[in-house]
Amino acid sequence: MILDFKEIPAANGNDGLQDTFELFTRDLLQYLGYRIIENPDRGADGKRDLIVEEIVRGIHSEYTIRWLVSCKHYAHSGKAVKDDDEINIRERIEQHKCDGFMGVYSTLPATSLAGILKGVKNHIVYDHERIESLLLRDAEGQRIAARYFAESYRNFQIENPVPAQIFADNSPIICEVCGRNLLDGESQGIFVSLKPFIEPDVDSHGTDRQIKEIHFVCKGECDNTLKESWRGLYYDSWGELDDLKNPTIWISTFIGFINGIHHNQDLSNEAFNAMKQMFIRTYPYVARHLTSHEKERVKQLIRFGLL
């Protein structure tokens, strides 16, 4: 679980926050597209926490389902919602002139309750796992998650980073063979530096030792295809583009680039501009915290003397 439902105050407290789970349910259902008919309130409520309506649209017609909503916040105890927690479901549906029953639970329904619900014509349950998957699927849902699960959502953002909005748009780095965006998180992209082969008597600081070209390509088949164009002319070195989404590796590689310029490392104008664009286009991915996986990757590279 990513969201810790214990961040929402217990429903049996007396600190004034005992209604928070019901308010969360209201915001959740509004986000999902339900229309709120009766809001949460205190006092005798006839065993209903909210009443909402859902408009169901078919090809030729539409109709409305009026849902009786019951909220059960048992995350602090961890117990399931049992049949004796939800008594007289059919009678409650009729009392409030509803068409179906909706349970919104911070744990799970017990088998005893699930059996009873099977006998209710219209019923739906939003348990903690279903709620989590719904909230984290898009930006609007995540705003609700950030409001009610502040600590959990901070951790989620760290472990699921997205590029920072630094530029008007985040430009891709394109594979020179297949055209795939090498920064999309699915590809195995690399950058390849090319230096020409030289004879032993040529000055090692001469222009023949320049990095002549920088290429961007998918690892494997695309890389092998591109190698055919320089085989026998250049020798290459390469690095992982995904590593440049790691803040620590990015700054280390960037400083290495700057140090190389300071120590008169020769780059052709084309190679210099390619490196510059690579750092610019990967920067939005690193203006953030490190994920746990990235921290381990940094340790691994340090252990092998590669960072």
Tens of pLDDT, residues 183-239: 987 778 999 999 888 654 455 554 456 888 999 999 999 999 999 888 888 888 999
8 Å CB contact between 26 and 40: yes
8 Å CB contact between 229 and 281: no
pLDDT tens track for 9-32 = 998 877 888 999 999 999 999 999
Supply the angle between the helices 150-159 and 139-148 in degrees, to the nearest 10: 130
Q: What is the pLDDT of residue 206?
A: 47
7-16: list long-range contacts, CB under 8 Å, 24+ apart: 7/148, 7/149, 7/150, 7/151, 7/152, 8/73, 8/75, 8/106, 8/148, 8/149, 10/73, 10/76, 11/71, 11/73
pLDDT tens track for 113-157 = 999 999 998 999 999 999 999 999 999 999 999 999 999 999 999
Question: For domain 5-159, which CATH number applies: 3.40.1350.10, 3.40.50.720, 3.40.50.300, 3.40.50.1400?
Answer: 3.40.1350.10
pLDDT tens track for 245-289 = 999 999 999 998 888 887 777 788 899 999 999 999 999 988 887
Taking the C-alpha atoms of residue 101 and residue 115, their distance in angstroms, rounded to an integer, is 14
Q: What is the pLDDT of residue 199?
A: 54
Q: What is the pLDDT of residue 232?
A: 82
Q: What is the pLDDT of residue 260?
A: 81
Is the pLDDT at 87 greater than 80, yes or no?
Answer: yes
The pLDDT of 47-53, averaged and rounded, is 90
Q: Which residues contact 79 (CB under 8 A, 6 or more apart)?
A: 107
Taking the C-alpha atoms of residue 27 and residue 7, their distance in angstroms, rounded to an integer, is 16
Taking the C-alpha atoms of residue 240 and residue 192, their distance in angstroms, rounded to an integer, is 9
DSSP structure class, residue 43: S
* Residue 195 CB burial class (10 angstroms; 0-12, 13-18, ≥19): middle
Token duo for residue 101: 């029953």
The pLDDT of 279-307, averaged and rounded, is 87
Residues of the chain with CATH 3.40.1350.10: 5-159
Bridge-partner residues for 50, per DSSP?
69
SS3 191: strand
H-helix segments, 150-291? 150-159, 221-227, 247-262, 269-282
SS3 104: strand
